[in-house]
């Protein structure tokens, strides 16, 4: 593979570039393609009939290379990001999402709103877990951090697995700000979700929450341990001490908050 230059050759004004920019990006990606790796990735991301990634296609490009290209083409116009999101290739959609996340982070309010609206309008193309996880916290979560979050409940109730995962992963941004209420609310809504990928996503977010406030996580698990899907629970308690993990897996854990108060009455005297 040829080395890529660290700076973009796109125009200084990202919205004035010609239509050939997207073609140049796609040509750069094709130059990095590895057919054998593409076959492996197609299996890894479950692209077979009836699997969660059914129909997804891969070029066989490793994630660090895609991230490097996102830096190289960081000035790609939003209209070309839309074109990449329509690509059948997972790596091209990932590249578009990484560029959009960068544009959101560095943009003014107007650009941030454009990126957010573009993301929501094309979220049906954010349709594998690597795409959701690389974008939802940095676009949806970042946008809703100081705004109304009713959309997340709507997404969590969607029939689309990827909408539901976007909702949960968006709360990672809130968790990092020590704002846990929406994570707990959505996880509680999704306890009966049939998809293992959602169990993993919810468990992961609970674990991240627990890194910031173990007591809040323990209280939540104490209430829901007996009905929580096993995968979700195992992900959530990964960092717990063995005795706590065993109690939670047995459904017998009681958090400090759930324990009865210590009896302060003296024993009866004879």
Domain range summary for the chain, segments of one domain joined by +: 1-135, 147-256
Give the phi and the psi of residue 251 in degrees, each rounded to 5.
75, 25
What pLDDT sits at residue 257?
A: 77
Give the C-alpha separation, 77 to 11, whole Å: 10
Other CB atoms within 10 A of residue 261 CB: 5
Q: How many CA atoms lie within 13 Å of 63's alpha carbon, on the beta-carbon side?
A: 7
The topology under which CATH files domain 147-256 is 1.25.40
Query: Structure pTM?
Result: 0.88
CATH of range 1-135; options 1.20.1740.10, 3.10.450.50, 3.30.70.20, 1.25.10.90: 1.25.10.90
> Nearest-CA neighbor of 248 among 230, 263, 261, 262?
230
Residue 8 near residue 72 (C-beta atoms within 8 A): yes
pLDDT in tens, 220-229: 999 999 999 9
pLDDT in tens, 125-160: 999 999 999 999 999 999 999 999 999 999 999 999
């Amino acid at each position: 593979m040829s080395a890529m230059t660290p700076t973009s050759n796109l125009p200084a004004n990202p919205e004035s570039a010609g239509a050939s920019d997207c073609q140049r990006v796609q040509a750069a990606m094709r130059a990095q393609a590895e057919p054998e790796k593409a076959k492996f990735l197609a299996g890894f991301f479950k692209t077979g009939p009836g699997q969660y990634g059914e129909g997804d296609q891969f070029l066989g490009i490793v994630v660090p290379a895609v991230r490097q290209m996102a830096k190289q083409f960081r000035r790609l116009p939003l209209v070309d990001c839309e074109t990449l999101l329509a690509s059948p290739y997972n790596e091209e959609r990932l590249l578009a999402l990484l560029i959009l996340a960068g544009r959101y982070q560095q943009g003014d309010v107007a650009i941030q709103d454009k990126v957010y609206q573009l993301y929501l309008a094309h979220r049906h193309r954010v349709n594998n877990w690597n795409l959701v996880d690389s974008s939802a916290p940095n676009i949806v979560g970042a946008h809703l951090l100081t705004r109304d979050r009713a959309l997340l409940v709507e997404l969590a109730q969607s029939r689309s697995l990827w909408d539901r995962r976007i909702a949960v992963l968006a709360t990672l941004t809130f968790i990092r700000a020590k704002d846990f209420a929406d994570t707990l609310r959505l996880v509680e809504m999704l306890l009966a979700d049939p998809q293992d990928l959602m169990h993993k996503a919810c468990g992961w977010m609970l674990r991240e929450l627990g890194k910031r406030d173990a007591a809040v996580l323990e209280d939540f698990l104490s209430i829901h341990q007996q009905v929580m899907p096993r995968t979700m629970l195992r992900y959530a308690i990964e960092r717990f001490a063995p005795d706590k993990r065993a109690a939670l897996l047995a459904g017998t854990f009681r958090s400090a908050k759930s324990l009865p108060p210590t009896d302060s009455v003296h024993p009866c005297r004879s």
